[in-house]
Structure 1
Amino acid sequence: MTDPLGLIGNTFPVQTPQAPKPPGLDGAAPQASFADALKQQIEHVNRLQQDAETAIGDLVAGRRDDVDGVLIAKQKADMAFRMLLQVRNKLVGAYDEIKQMRV
């Protein structure tokens, strides 16, 4: 019998399973925790809101005449805040579910 695709001879030896290594022990850079990622996103949303408020203040004071840029900055800040609010709602919902679990 012929093996036109070469599948018979290309079997891999069986390897014993190994326990997964904890992050950071394999020489790679340690991964950020969820708390760090959440903190970075909160800071990013805060920065976007501050930029939007500065842009609005500059427009009102006459130092800026780019209405489109101000509206875009405000929309970016609004969307980022809404997404952060959804993440908070999901976290609160998950916490409530865990709190109601019987042990």
Structure 2
Amino acid sequence: MEVGKTTANDFASLIKADLAALANDAGNLANSAVMPAAPVSNQVLPAGFSFTQSMKDALGSVNAEDSAAGIRMADVDSGKSDDLVGAMLASQQANLSFSMLMQVRNKVMGAVDELIKLPV
């Protein structure tokens, strides 16, 4: 019985040491200077470019499109508007925008998973 406990404790301490090393490496990576990736097709990114801000802007845009489509559909439902085609087009555009955002999210998460799998 004591052998099993010792092995479990050893594994636990090894896992804790590995997690501490990973946290240390992540901290070092965050503090190190990272060269930006080469722009695609010779496009120059603005000096204040932020991926996080770009994603927030995209999310806000998709949310605004969804809200506008919801308002247009509610107006058609309540009889305030007779533009059913415009409401349906706005709804489809919002749906496509959301689908595109989800595809981008999935690609980013896949890239993060690949980065995590890279050997240090």
Flag whether TM exceeds 0.5 (same fold): yes
User: Which residue of the partner structure matches residue 21 of structure 1?
Assistant: none
The answer to whether 1:34 aligns with 2:62 is no
Structure 1 match to 2:22:
none
Alignment gaps of 5+ in structure 2 = 1-45
| Cα drift, residue 100 of structure 1 | 1.0
Match of 1:61 among 78, 88, 96: 78
**Residue equivalent to 2:67:** 50
Instruction: Give aligned-pair identity as a percent.
Output: 36
Deviation at 1:101, TM superposition (A): 1.1
**Residues 71-100 of structure 1, C-alpha deviation per residue, up to 9 Å, x if partnerless?**
110011011101100000001100110111
TM-score, scaled relative to structure 2: 0.60
Higher fraction of helix: 2
Cα shift at 1:54: 0.7
User: Aligned with 2:102: secondary structure?
Assistant: helix
Q: CA deviation at 1:31?
A: 3.0
1:94 aligned partner: 111
CA distance in 1, matches of 2:68, 2:50: 27
TM-score (structure 1 length as normaliser): 0.69
Q: How many equivalent pairs are there? A: 75
Q: Which of 1 and 2 has higher RCO (CA within 8 Å, sep 6+)?
A: 1
Residue 34 of structure 1 and its aligned partner are, at CA, apart by 1.1
Unmatched tracts of structure 1, length 5 or more: 1-28
2-structure distance, mates of 1:76, 1:92: 24
